[in-house]
């Protein structure tokens, strides 16, 4: 059931929004995140924060917006305190999730703080 889509374009039954159980809608969003952050035959894994950005930009295509919004409100917080490799070659620690741009958190690199919502040149590459 988690492959069903709000617009009826999913499978196996082509169900529409009101016919899809809430649990299946939740699992569909979690499955999208897992697919994005996992190495697959057809693509490389992206960082959790790149996945959050993709989900925010494209998640509405066939997925329940209330579930997407709740996922983006909660899931990024699990990464506070985690360390990541950055595209600068440095490592940083997530210290705060920006509620308006969850995919661009505040990070600590050494003794300085970088707000990724302002510095778009720095990207989170992968978890340490």
First to last CA, the chain: 34
Report pLDDT digits (tens) over 48-104: 999 999 999 987 788 889 999 999 999 999 999 999 999 999 999 999 999 999 999
- In order of start, what are the domains of the chain with their CATH numbers? 17-76 (no CATH), 78-127 (2.30.30)
Q: What distance in Å separates the CA atoms of residue 31 and residue 45, rounded to the nearest whole number?
A: 14
CA separation, residue 25 to residues 33, 45, 49 (Å): 13, 23, 21
Report pLDDT digits (tens) over 3-33: 666 665 655 666 666 777 898 889 989 999 9
């Amino acid at each position: 059931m988690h492959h069903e889509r709000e617009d009826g374009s999913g499978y196996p039954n082509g169900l529409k929004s009101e016919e899809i159980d809430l649990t299946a809608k939740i699992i569909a969003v979690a499955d999208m995140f897992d697919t994005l952050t996992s190495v697959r035959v057809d693509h490389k894994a992206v960082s959790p924060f790149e996945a959050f950005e993709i989900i925010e930009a494209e998640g509405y295509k066939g997925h329940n917006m209330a579930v997407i919004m709740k996922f983006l409100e909660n899931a990024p917080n699990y990464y506070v305190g985690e360390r990541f490799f950055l595209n600068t070659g440095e490592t940083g620690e997530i210290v705060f999730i920006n509620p308006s741009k969850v995919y661009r958190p505040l990070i600590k690199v050494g003794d300085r703080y970088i707000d990724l919502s302002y510095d778009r040149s720095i990207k989170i590459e992968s978890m340490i």
